[in-house]
Chain A
Amino acid sequence: MGKVLVFAEQTNGKLKRSSMELLQAAAKSGNTVVAVTFGSHAGDVTAAIGHNGASEVHVVKDASLDSYNPESYTANMVAIVNKVQPSIILSSASSTGKDLFPRVAARLNTGVASDCTQLTISGDNVTAVKPMYSGKAFATVNFENSPIKIVLMRANQMPVDAADTSKTANVVEHANAATDLKTLIKEIVKGASEKLDLTEANIIVSGGRGLKEAANFKVLNDLADVLGATVGATRAVVDAGWVGHGMQVGQTGKTVAPSLYIAVGISGAIQHLAGMGSSKVIVAINNDANAPIFQKATYGIVGDALEIVPKLTEEFKKALHH
């Protein structure tokens, strides 16, 4: 058995669900699980990291690591990897994970499999499955010439069991390894919403042309508020300027995999279906019974979205508050 190193991400001192998935999967493999976390909030998550299966957690508490800088994160990650000597590294395919680990892989002369949806760890070996062509096919990734196998997993692909509070991790502190940065983060402009990013959301409510005008996204926002969902959109709606590109779901937007995807007024262009097709349960609401979206859907409602969605919001309110 070897060591699995997990990059533990946090938001304001709270361990991300996607990191819990990875820690627990690593722990189940029987390997020694070592975690890494950065920033002035690092100390807030070490307990949770232990509860989820790591026996050791390496932290760099420097406040300059509170926001992601590719150079400083790469320098620190590589320094810790060289100390820990893992055979496998796991990270979420989050915007940080996807940016950081190709750099780490290049520096360590090893391979990285990005955007994977299935993970099998057997001793020191890893096999991963990743969607290709936005889920129109699935490929098995085999590592070659890779002393360390780096796998970046999409969020919400693996179960998360209740944390075991009897387990703790030994904390190892490091000084910041980064010097002489050529990249400077000058300003961070906060997002409009505090909701989970589409790529991490467990429930997504998404709107298309069938909503008729930008103002009607309000009915989706209301529904999303009740469900604790993130709001998405189709390319047509983004191109029309109704909402920003960050909300676009599809082959030229975000590829998502929530437990529940509610498609409202979306006819289902092939590029959109590719981006949301791996959602576990898909609800389609559209006034055209022949819309292609119904071929992907689990449940379908033919009708006027603007009439049905507010009623759904009321029903969810009742159901979730009892």
Chain B
Amino acid sequence: MKIFVCIKQVPDTETKIKISPDQTGIDTAGIKWVMNPYDEYAVEEANKLRDANPGSQVWVLSAGPKARVVESLRTALAMGADEAIVINGEGLDNFSTAKALAEVIKAEGGMKIIFTGKLAIDDNASSVSQMMAEFLNVPHTTVVSKFAFNGENVTVERDVEGGAKEVVQMMTPAVVGANKGLNMPRYASLPGIMKAKKKVIKEIEFSSLNIPASDIKVKYSGMTLPADKPAVKMLSGDSSAQAAELVKLLRDEAKVL
């Protein structure tokens, strides 16, 4: 069985963000790129599923500028994925990315289950995996913290608002969006890293996929940094005085009560 995992490369959460001179994006110089943290759970769950189903294979896919995106694909290979494909393209939005991923998965054929992260921490959008499911015409559940496959159907537990959970059953093929809590992602082993370095990553040009330019639906511009906060007001006195002062400030000055 073919198990696909779609991953995205994002700036490390520690990275300080600077704006590019033309203010349409960020200054990518000096940015440390990592695999989107939620995608690690997706890779891990795919590996576990492969290990439990002999003869299966894990394929990782990513779309973006090839030169850097391959790094995250190598990380996935080092974690144990079998094959990797990069869709080389610049300036793709969520819609065109989803379409490209769906096209490549269709072309590779035989997919049973596709894992993604529940969202990417750079744009916090949570849209590519749903759109991809729609283009593939398959069911999709995201924010998944428990996964089971019985050879035919998938049963997942999905975290919803207010701490509630839903148990969802899907016919396969199906797309599963991984949340934290699904598993503990394995570290890449040294032999895994060595093996990943030697792997050939299949390259597909976005331009070869016959996706029209009109499939780019949104563009970001006017990138700005958040405004500086006024300096903090430190409260003094003993704890009782501080507590009384704070409540007064919140009510009379900040007016949030």
Chain A positions within 8 Å of B, measured between CB atoms, are 67-68, 70-71, 74, 94-95, 98-99, 101-103, 105-107, 110-115, 130-146, 182-197, 199-200, 203, 244-248, 251-253, 255, 259-260, 270-271, 274, 277-278, 280-281, 283-284, 294-304, 307-308, 311-312, 314-316, 318-320
Contacts and interface: CB of A to CB of B under 8 A. Distances in A.
Contacts of B243: 308, 311-312, 314-315
A193 B123 contact: no
Nearest to A129: B222
A94 B161 contact: yes
Given A132-B223, A186-B169, 10 more contacts: A99-B142, A102-B130, A112-B217, A114-B125, A132-B17, A134-B124, A144-B216, A182-B171, A183-B140, A252-B121
Contacts of A316: 247, 257
A143 B217 contact: yes
26 contacts: A70-B130, A102-B94, A105-B131, A111-B218, A112-B127, A133-B121, A134-B13, A137-B17, A137-B224, A139-B220, A140-B223, A142-B218, A143-B218, A144-B216, A144-B217, A144-B218, A145-B216, A183-B168, A187-B167, A189-B166, A191-B162, A191-B165, A299-B249, A300-B233, A307-B239, A312-B246
B202 interface: no
B217 A145 contact: yes
Contacts of A144: 216-219
Where chain B touches its partner, the secondary structure class is mixed
Given A132-B123, A136-B226, A259-B256, A141 B220 contact: yes
B256 A281 contact: yes
A139 B221 contact: yes
Contacts of B37: 252
B232 interface: yes
Contact of A146 (B14, B217, B242, B251): B217
Chain B contact-residue range equals 35 or more
Contacts of B206: none
Contacts of A252: 13, 37-38, 121, 180
A146 B94 CA distance: 13
Q: Of residues B164, B169, B181, B217, which shows the largest number of chain A Cβ atoms within 10 Å of its Cβ?
A: B217
Contact of A184 (B16, B169, B225, B247): B169
Nearest to B235: A301
Contacts of A246: 159, 163
Contact of A281 (B179, B180, B219, B254): B254
